[in-house]
Amino acid sequence: MKAKTRIMVVEDDPKTASLVRLYLEHAGYDVVVAPNGREALRLAAAEPPPALAVLDVMLPQVDGLQVCREIRLGSDMAVILLTARSTEEDRLEGLDLGADDYVTKPFSPRELVARVRAVLRRRGPSGDGAGTRLDGDPRRRPGAASDHGDATLRAGSIEIDPARHAVRVADRTVELTPREFDLLHALARRPGRVFSREDLAAAAFGPDYEGSGRTIDAHIKNLRSKIESDPADPSIVVTVYGVGYRLAERVDDA
């Protein structure tokens, strides 16, 4: 029998943690709960790791943003941030760290379950219900190349290997978050084409993506910081003002 997809709920309020666990288990997920950031990092390092973390930002011992940052350094686990902080700057801060989605308190448990399903659906089906370790394991990120094939893409100095979730720029290996990788992959499939933010999001994340244009901008900013020789004057992922973004057709000197 196929293993249930494991979700980690990181929440220091017992009532909220119990409510979220109840709804996720009713939806068919295997749920583990961490009451603080330190326990969350321990569970994230377990084998097999959870496929997704519902992560409160305000946590004792290690705060949620630091947990998200450390998860991103060693795992391909999806992350949904859960917090009472609802300003755009707060949301972008979490997305800058590689979070997949952001839910503000108070929230509907049914909506949270729907968001979990949407993030996992965008990631693609996972064969063992678990996330993917990034510490030297060459296994494919669940769903990373399933929609567009495993063939290596080359655009100038950029080489993208979907099967290994690997990117090289001018013979330099670049570590990208899942969101950053999917955006670059979508652009590289059509170098020179200008994508609006909405079209780029749909091409990279699927038509059910609910993030804003500012969210796409935040991911592009992070992507540029890793692949551009001068992020302030990008020559690979180029802004087309008033429209969106395109991958330069010639990026050999980047």
CATH 1.10.10.10 residue ranges of the chain are 153-247
CATH dotted code for 153-247: 1.10.10.10
Report, at the CATH architecture level, how domain 6-123 is classified. Answer: 3-Layer(aba) Sandwich (3.40)
pLDDT digits (tens, 9 = 90+) for 6-54: 999 999 999 999 999 999 999 999 999 999 999 999 999 888 889 999 9
pLDDT digits (tens, 9 = 90+) for 154-207: 877 888 988 888 899 888 898 887 788 889 999 988 888 999 998 998 888 777
194 close to 204: Cβ distance less than 8 angstroms: no
Q: Reply yes or no: is the peptide bond before residue 162 cis, omega within 30 of 0.
A: no
Q: What is the pLDDT of residue 210?
A: 66
Residue 138: pLDDT band (50, 70, 90) is very low
Q: Can you give the pTM of this predicted structure?
A: 0.59
CATH 3.40.50.2300 residue ranges of the chain are 6-123
* 136: Cβ contacts below 8 Å, ≥ 6 apart: none
Produce one character per residue of 214-236: b if its CB has 16 or more CB atoms within 10 Å, e if not: ebbbbbbebbbebbbeeeeebbb
